[in-house]
Chain A
């Protein structure tokens, strides 16, 4: 069964740091670009970041650029996002997401598998 399992969420003070992990199973993790998408309470979906499979090229939303770093460990089938200088507006459920294909149309943005999400709360 294809599965994504996020962990690492919690309560952190403004200006603090947190690292989220996403353990993947049931597919060839190294072949897929992987992404983080977040959803603030009662709000819509917001894309956060994507990392390609082969090149490791990364993409970030303007709202997190310079503060968040996406990475992956293909030997551990795990995706990460290091979140620094956290702000109240970063409070959200963070999902990791796998695209439906390894290459071509949709390989960066058509997410067919999502994790259950991990909640990050930034508050003093």
Chain B
């Protein structure tokens, strides 16, 4: 069971806007920044968002992130077929000397 909670699945049609949520606690999301990763089948994860809402170079502005209290969300607008992937949230957790916690992942299907 993951420390951060994500819905196991999400879906949308091309052009739609979808949102993926990530719920944590006072020791992780509330105190630290949230990062989001995209993982296409058979490939290594890719950093999609860091510091809650910052996009690394090369990530389209269709992707946006936000955080409020103990939860965060990733929004994808103008959904495209190539967005079909697994999405993971992650954050530093201050308990137990400090460690990184991941969400269980959300499988996004483009219908």
A115, B45: Cα distance in complex, Å: 9
Min CB distance, A45 to chain B, in Å?
5
- Residue B74 at the chain A interface, CB threshold 8 Å: no
Q: Which interface residue of A37, A44, A46 has the most chain B CB atoms within 10 A?
A: A44
- Residue A21 at the chain B interface, CB threshold 8 Å: no
B103's partner among A37, A44, A62, A106 (CB-CB below 8 A) is A44
B47's partner among A59, A95, A110 (CB-CB below 8 A) is A110
A115's partner among B44, B56, B86, B90 (CB-CB below 8 A) is B44
Encoded as 1 (CB less than 8 Å from any B CB) or 0, chain A from 89 to 108 comes to: 00000010000100001101
Min CB distance, A120 to chain B, in Å?
16
- A45 contacts across to B, CB distance below 8 A: 37, 39, 45, 88, 90, 102, 105
Tell me whether B99 and A100 are in contact (CB under 8 A): no
- B50 contacts across to A, CB distance below 8 A: 100, 105-106, 110, 112
Tell me whether A60 and B51 are in contact (CB under 8 A): no
- B39 contacts across to A, CB distance below 8 A: 45
A50-B100, A59-B97, A116-B44 in contact; A105/B51 too (CB < 8 A)?
yes
Residue on B nearest A50 in the bound complex, by CB: B100
**Chain B interface residue count, Cβ-Cβ cutoff 8 angstroms:** 28
Size category of the A interface is 20 to 34
A54, B47: Cα distance in complex, Å: 24
Residue on A nearest B37 in the bound complex, by CB: A45
- Residue B20 at the chain A interface, CB threshold 8 Å: no
Tell me whether A114 and B45 are in contact (CB under 8 A): yes
A95, B88: Cα distance in complex, Å: 15
A47-B99, A100-B50 in contact; A109/B44 too (CB < 8 A)?
no
Can you name 20 A-B residue pairings with CB atoms under 8 Å?
A35-B100, A37-B45, A37-B100, A44-B103, A45-B102, A59-B97, A59-B98, A59-B99, A60-B99, A108-B100, A109-B32, A109-B35, A109-B90, A109-B92, A110-B33, A110-B51, A111-B37, A114-B44, A116-B44, A117-B44
Q: 10 nearest interchain CB pairs?
A: A47-B100, A110-B50, A114-B44, A44-B105, A112-B47, A110-B35, A45-B102, A109-B100, A109-B92, A105-B51
